[in-house]
Amino acid sequence: MIKGYWAGVVAIVGFILMIGFVKFAKRKFNIPSARKAIHMGGGILAMSFPWLGEWNHILPAVVVACFILMALRFTSKFKKDEEQSASGDFLYDTGDLNSYGEVIFPVVMAILTWVTRLNPFLFVTPMAILALSDSSAALLGSKYGKENMAYKGEDKKTKFGSLVFFATCMIIVPMSALALTDLAIKNILIISLMVAITATIFEMTASHGMDNLLIPLSTYLMLNSLVDLTYEEILMKFAYMAMIFMVASLAQTAKLVSTFSYLQFAIMLSVSLVSACRYAATSVIIVSLAITFVQKYIKKLNICIVKPSIVCSCYSVIVLVMFSAGVIESMFAAVLFYAGNFLLISITLRNINKFLPVTKKKTKQEPVTA
């Protein structure tokens, strides 16, 4: 382990070298996805942090990485044309600037560094899932997946990609637990299943790079809440999840909510209960009912409802992480849940026309006179 801030220096130098290598590989060998290469490389680099130095020496380096990627994104917006591009454009080989994943990635890394204090199991496992499972799902899903489950204008999501994500999660979590903890095998298996279900649903339903926030933070919340419980207590938490999904499935079958919305809210309620933040769980139910009411009485809100549910989930997960880290109490977490989520819903209602599809008015053609 490197002493002092030299650990942070080594981390940031490694990050810069990785970006330079990916940029070189993109131009020299035309690798298919530079963004996913940085995604995977950055995650693997971060997995070494617990053995590189102290968390308070690593954290400044992660903050610097945030600014570097923000600068790359900023320069990418000012490209002149397809042939002559700015320095950051190699990240956006698809031409899509609607994703904020590459900026969210180091921000989440900084949050995990702070809340876990670089605990090997609680830090490495979420980063491994984000780096390996998410990248594998994106690359294999785009190549072999056929049916796109996402809405128009959002990130492509395929059933095959989600299956790959779930399978890799079921490999990563047990391996990490066996190597970094002394948990019993039966505890590891049920925890792995709960984490894989949670992370896969967020991977399926999130868009615009928000899965880079939801996947690692929800994984941390589940692990932090379950790792010290007995096998019977873990089974009880799993039973909560099963009952929530049964009720939510009935609501989706009755067409009260869209598929993605019911998955988002069901998993958020599950994460709240597993995190032992019952006041927050109550507010999740009320917020879900509010958006269900809106969806039922406003036509074609199905396109609109996905974006608010994603934003509400991101906000709620951040609040739960603050609660789990001991920064805020359960009651205050519930107040933040109510205030923030209903503010997001009200903003959505005021700007609903921007989310709905634009309908072109048909113009009557005048008869042609000879």
Q: What is the 3-state secondary structure (H, E, C) of the chain?
A: CCCCCHHHHHHHHHHHHHHHHHHHHHHHHCCCCHHHHHHHHHHHHHCCHHHHCCHHHHHHHHHHHHHHHHHHHHHHCCCCCCCCCCCCHHHCCCCCCCCCHHHHHHHHHHHHHHHHCCCHHHHHHHHHHHHHHHHHHHHHHHHHCCCECCCCCCCCCEHHHHHHHHHHHHHHHHHHHHHHCCCCHHHHHHHHHHHHHHHHHHHHHCCCCCHHHHHHHHHHHHHHHHCCCCHHHHHHHHHHHHHHHHHHHHHHHCCCCCHHHHHHHHHHHHHHHHCCCHHHHHHHHHHHHHHHHHHHHCCCCHHHHHHHHHHHHHHHHHHHHHHHCCCCCHHHHHHHHHHHHHHHHHHHHHCHHHHCCCCCCCCCCCCCCC
pLDDT at position 80 is 43
At a CB cut-off of 8 Å and minimum separation 6, what does 247 contact?
A: none
Q: What is the mean pLDDT of residues 66-89?
A: 58
**Quick check: 177 pLDDT over 90?**
yes
In angstroms and rounded to an integer, the radius of gyration of the C-alpha atoms of the chain is 22
pLDDT at position 171 is 95
Least confident of 186-200, 283-297, 340-354: 283-297
Under the banding of pLDDT at 50, 70 and 90, the label for residue 303 is very low
pLDDT at position 359 is 52
User: Phi and psi dihedrals of 217, rounded to 5?
Assistant: -70, -40
- Per the prediction, the chain carries an average pLDDT of 75
Top-confidence residue, 272 or 44 = 44
Nearest to residue 195, comparing CAs of 213, 158, 175, 221? 221
Q: Is the pTM of this model over 0.85?
A: no
Report the alpha-carbon distance of residue 27 to residue 34 in Å, rounded.
Answer: 10
Residue 181's identity, in one-letter code, is T
Report the alpha-carbon distance of residue 254 to residue 292 in Å, rounded.
Answer: 12
200-245 pLDDT tens trace: 888 887 777 788 888 999 999 899 989 999 999 999 888 888 887 7
**Quick check: 306 pLDDT over 60?**
no
pLDDT at position 34 is 63
